[in-house]
Amino acid sequence: MTDIIAGFFAPWIIFAVILLLHLALPARRVDGYVRDPRTGSPLRYRLNGPLVLAATVGLWALACALGAVPWDWLYTHRWAGLAGACTLGLAFSFAVVLTAPGGGKPFLVEFYKGRLANPQFLGGRVDAKMFLYLAGATMLALNILSFAAHHAMRFGPDASPGVYLHAALFLWFVVEYLVFERVHLYTYDLVAERVGFKLGWGCFTFYPYFYAIGLWAVADLPDPRSPTWLLVLSAAVFFAGWSISRGANLQKYFFKTSPDRAFLSVLKPRALRDGNLALLCSGFWGIARHVNYLGEILMALGLTLCLGRPGALAAWLYPLYYVALLLPRERSDERRCAARYGALWDEYRRRVPKRIIPGIY
Ligand code: NDP
């Protein structure tokens, strides 16, 4: 029973440690893309994601190395941990929605989507959205490490190289996301989302636990003896997706922050302009209007493929989730852009007719 209680509250304690580290460690202060409606100036953010990740993983590794907890503790307590994270996500969502003034929509809609657009706390030291993403990413990294450790402890020298590859690629995914967290300030998540259940529960529960579903499904299974070519192919699919996604996001970030700067020092931006607004229509943004979403889906596919278990249906939920998330998001972003950019967007659609997959869709 005490074990279940410890497992339940472990994510609460870990999220509290992440918050304290976020507050205590040095951070860069940067301008965001979103503007403060009261002043009209860009919102300011304190960012220190990579440091917080390194410190949290370091503390966890120290606790394991000193024998305070086994390396696979988060795996053996995963159900209790999931329940604890779920309760915390719900409590946070209620707190953040109920304490904000209503916007006139049905309560369930406001609870799901949130009421506040950009809440910041402690005199602006903590931005709710950026903290939620940091907390989710860091907890995900701990889960991935602990789930992989369980596999290693159980199978020793017969462990599956695919599990190690999956864990390594996932850590890459988390680390690079935090290294580029400033670019995240220019994405839909920060610009268009509000803080409610979707983001609160999503980052405290869904992100750190559902994203680990592949390892959750296979950590207790023996090595499937995947051929080397499959592992190489999986990593190639993952990195192809990463290059597309990160490349597109960076290209747009540079375009928004310094519109005339050449991307990667070679690609001069080609843009459609109407005097007021501008849309990139070269490079990644010239081959499909949301090729970055293709990149995300390819990364998820690579992560699942390398597990070498096509029959493990749970592991396929991960890439399927991206398809289910990003296809409707592309449609809603399309509507948002058509309304914002008007005739310029029509011209962009004419020049770049494909939505996500160049030449196909
Ligand atoms: P985008 O990065 O595609 O951003 C869309 C916005 O970019 C539009 O609303 C518009 O905003 C601007 N824009 C669109 N086309 C152009 C153009 N041609 N030139 C200039 N600006 C343009 O989408 P998201 O913000 O949804 O996604 C960002 C990243 O995050 C993606 O790579 C996505 O896949 C990833 N992501 C990752 C998830 C994960 O769990 N790993 C989950 C969800 C997303 P504006 O009006 O400001 O110009």
Digit-coded pLDDT (tens) for 219-250: 999 999 999 999 999 999 999 999 999 999 99
Chain mean pLDDT for the chain: 95
What mean pLDDT is predicted for residues 69-95? Answer: 98
Give the confidence band of 162 by pLDDT, cuts at 50, 70, 90. Answer: very high
d(CA 48, CA 26): 7
CA–centroid distance, 306 to ligand 1, in Å, is: 27
Strands (E) across the chain are located at 28-35, 42-47, 120-121, 126-127, 271-273, 278-280
What predicted TM-score, i.e. pTM, was given to this entire model? 0.93
Instruction: Say how far apart CA 196 and CA 90 lie, in whole Å.
Output: 9
The span from the CA of 319 to the CA of 297, in Å, is 6
Q: Could you tell me the pLDDT band of residue 265, with boundaries at 50, 70 and 90? A: low
pLDDT digits (tens, 9 = 90+) for 105-153: 999 999 999 999 999 999 899 999 999 999 999 999 999 999 999 999 9
User: Residue 35: how many CB atoms within 10 A of its CB?
Assistant: 13
Pocket probe for ligand 1: among 187, 320, 336, 340, the residue whose CB has the most ligand atoms within 8 Å is 187
Pocket of ligand 1 (CB under 6 A): 187-188, 191, 245, 249, 252, 255, 279-280, 285, 290, 292-293, 296, 329, 333, 336-337, 340
Closest approach atom of ligand 1 to CA 341: 46
Angle between helices 128-155 and 49-65 (to 10 degrees): 30
Q: Ligand 1 pocket test: pick from 133, 172, 188, 250 the residue with the most ligand atoms within 8 Å of its Cβ.
A: 188
Q: Assess contact for 81 and 7: CB atoms under 8 A.
A: yes
Mutate to test the pocket of ligand 1, among 180, 333, 336, 348 (most ligand atoms within 8 A of CB): 333
The answer to whether the beta carbons of residues 306 and 234 sit under 8 Å apart is yes
Nearest atom within ligand 1 for CA of residue 296: 34
Q: Cα of 332 to ligand 1 centre, how many Å? A: 11
